[in-house]
Structure 1
Amino acid sequence: MKYQQRKKALVLLADGTIFYGKSVGIEGTSTGEICFNTGMTGYQEIFTDPSYFGQLMVATNAHIGNYGVNNEEVESDGIKIAGLICRNFSFTHSRVDSNGNLKDWFTKHNLVAISDVDTRALVSYIRDNGAMNAIISTDVDNIDALKKQLAAVPSMEGLELASKVSTTEPYFIGDENADIKISALDIGIKKNILRNLAKRGAYIKVFPYNSSFSELEAFNPDGYFISNGPGDPEPLVEAQAVAKEIIERDLPLFGICLGHQVIALSQEISTYKMHNGHRGINHPVKNLLTGKGEITSQNHGFAINREETEANENVEITHVHLNDHTVAGIRIKDKNAFSVQYHPEASPGPHDSEYLFDQFIANIKASKKVLS
């Protein structure tokens, strides 16, 4: 696509600030909370991560699309971001095992994307002023109408989005003859989480976001998992009830990201919306139990209250984020339950934290041994 043929586009922030760019080729308008990801690779996994549902993604990498798309590198059943904002968009790509270019993939999923935006300035503005709702559009001559449309977009705070991305019916992953069975509560689960559990010898039944403990228990699992996902964790009262029941029964439990927040809420630890959140693949975390550092993949706009966690006699902080000292992991004392705020399955990202899946499986095996 020639540069001069591309239509003008804009980013309009909730406070009235405007950044201009060019349409990637799909005309239209899209709204959501604006956020940015600092990862230098893995854009396809990011775009398909259910945790990003309802968000306009700003890519800090200066080049998006240069290696095309691969049908195997998706984390869900399709694109989950509300729209893309980038600096340079590559309409051509170079990669041996590519299945096509990013533009055609966006067209297939009807995703509004704009490029030629000064993303350095935009990200700097968001860092200073915080995450906020925004609108991207090729309708650059109707600013007043866009402002009215943007004003009607609900705040991410208090917004329940797990129901928008969760499975509607239970399904199975792994070898049905495996020695370990896990019930997984899907509040926005990524495929690579399920791959990591399955390759460690688990047979997983994935349940819808609003499933009860009795429904998960009916599978007769050896352990329970609560997934990542989008939106505010506070409205997920059903998931919190499930987590509380599992913990009270001292059954093996592992939670990631939104699941981590749900577990904290079940223990009467509150959550809060962060100024910007953590989104990238190079976030430093310290494991307080081992003293070792980990470079982690993160994607969250909410966090659990550290003061309340430290004051809770039933909960121990196991991991901290070294940039801002937010809680990155907890365990429930005298119970078989732990969780982390980041993504040990990465995809994209480093594999420093994969040991957490091994820890979960070891907890399950120890529990099975005790019960037998």
Structure 2
Amino acid sequence: MKNTTVDIDQSKNKKNSFQPLVKQGNAPVPLSILNVATTGKGYSASEAIATSVELAKFADQRGFGRYWVAEHHGMPAVSTSSPAMLLSRLIGETHNVRLGSGGMMLPNFPPLVVAEQFGMLQAMAPGRIDLGLGRAPGTNGLTASALRRGNIGAEDFPQQLEELLHFLEDDFPQGHPYKDKVFAVPGPGQDRDNGIERSFDSPSVWLLGSSGYSAQLAGKLGLPFAFAAQLAPENLLTAFDLYRRNFRPSEILDQPYTIASFAVFAADTEAEARTQTHSFSHSMLRMMKGESYVIPSPEELKNYNYTEQERYVLESWNQKMIQGTADQVIDGLNEFQRISGADELMIANLGYSPEAILHSAELIADAYNMPNLNM
């Protein structure tokens, strides 16, 4: 009978699946995809999620490095309310691309729940799971209160993160009430109690943000950092500077490592790209007016009469996007990479129709010289 009382020093077997990506083709840095299962007005969640699956399969075939799924709640234009559930489907649809959350909004969940969900994903796809973490609610305040049923907020993020990291590594300090008594399954605590050498490889943990707070925290903890430039490209250089200046080497990283994520849209013509992204910008205008986050069809917007203030807001969102032909999008991405020094780039194809979103990714893959891994 197998000895189940073996005393194993788990601290000697700490693992973390972080690894820098290898660039493909002639690209200056690796390129990845962020998906939100965009659900334009007139489309169902089933259609949006089916497009997400097809986009993930395409990313896998064309050498994209990562395929991350966002978390949003109470937004008719977005169907990714549960990254872990969608990622579990994508594991069976892909083989090469790393899969992850971009991100899990930690204040919405107990840390143990996140550790177990992503522990299961890692057990199903060892060495291929990224756990990107954010501190925003991913929704409005009222919906956040319905999600949380408590007083957890962004100010609790450091404590939640610390607890999550301990669950992932099963390394609570001596004297902690959870030490050797509460552990995430799957996880290293399960290996310990089952009397085997550690088999669990923790998912790669990233901090995500669109301001300086998470940048500084990621630096101090020695974690990789992903900046959401699709929300605030004007803060990109400041955030990266804060991250790099605050960086402390860790067991995970000996030097800073960054992703810059951008809202993009490529089409066969500049006019078509503007048409698709106009719908997205209008949805952001609606949200800033306190209206439901809906992406209307281009046809619906043809006769919309904008006020001067609305046009100003609309144009501000248009300027946050890198749009146009594929070559124009690539030129924009490469320029941002040059000035920021990002180690990787990530793109969120934000338009109206599923067909146009897939086509945008195809055009960008070709223009970025991404290889076809199935050939």
TM class by smaller structure: under 0.3
Higher helix residue share: 2
Please state which structure has a larger fraction of its residues in strand.
1
Q: TM-score, normalised by structure 2?
A: 0.28
| TM-score of the superposed pair, with normalisation by structure 1 | 0.28
